[in-house]
């Protein structure tokens, strides 16, 4: 008699289930998908948007004009309903679209409240 080769059959556990099926039972299960993100959003303290004074606007404009790609910056900007502070490298400055990209976060120049170059 010819015995079937074991290499073509899927590897099975002692219970007879293929190993890939058995591994799937240990995959993480998120019964409340999106719940934790919703909770984090509720924890944010909503702030009104701060209108820049003329002096603050001139200082911000001066800092933006001196920015170069690759510089480390700390930027505080209005994100949906509150201010967020982000530190990272400048990836792109687009004065036509009025956007600043820090790492992968695109920030509208009109949303920036504070911007400073961080020395390396």
Beta strand 112-117 with 99-102: parallel, antiparallel or unpaired? unpaired
Range 93-98 average pLDDT: 94
Q: How far is CA 52 from the centre of its chain?
A: 26
Confidence band (pLDDT; 50, 70, 90) for 117?
very high
CATH of domain 54-117: 2.30.30.520
For residue range 23-54, list pLDDT tens digits in order.
666 666 667 777 777 777 777 778 888 899 99
pLDDT given at position 28: 65
pLDDT given at position 94: 95
Mean pLDDT rounded to a whole number for the chain? 83
Range 70-85 average pLDDT: 93
Q: How far is residue 106's CA from residue 100's CA, in Å, rounded to a whole number?
A: 6
Q: Which residues pair with 77 in a beta bridge?
A: 84, 112
DSSP string, 69-86: TT-EEEEEEEETTEEEEE
Residue 112 has pLDDT above 70, yes or no: yes
Residue 101, helix vs strand vs coil: strand
Domain residue ranges of the chain, discontinuous segments joined by +: 54-117
pTM summary value: 0.63
DSSP string, 13-74: -TTS-BHHHHHHTTS---TTTTHHHHHHHHHSPP-PPPPPPHHHHHHHHHHHHH--TT-EEE
Q: Tell me the CA distances in angstroms from 29 to 12, 24, 40, 68, 84, one per residue in order.
A: 24, 10, 20, 44, 31
């Amino acid at each position: 008699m010819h015995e079937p080769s074991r290499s073509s059959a899927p590897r099975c556990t002692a219970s007879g289930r293929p190993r890939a099926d058995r591994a799937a039972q240990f995959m993480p299960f998120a019964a409340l998908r999106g719940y934790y993100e919703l909770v984090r959003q509720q924890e944010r303290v909503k702030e009104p948007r701060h209108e820049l004074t003329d002096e603050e606007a001139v200082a911000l404009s001066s800092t933006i004009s001196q920015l170069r790609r690759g510089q480390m910056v700390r930027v505080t900007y209005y994100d949906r309903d509150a201010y967020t502070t982000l530190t990272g490298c400048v990836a792109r400055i687009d004065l036509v679209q009025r956007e600043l990209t820090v790492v992968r976060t695109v920030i509208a120049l009109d949303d920036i409240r504070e911007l400073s170059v961080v020395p390396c």
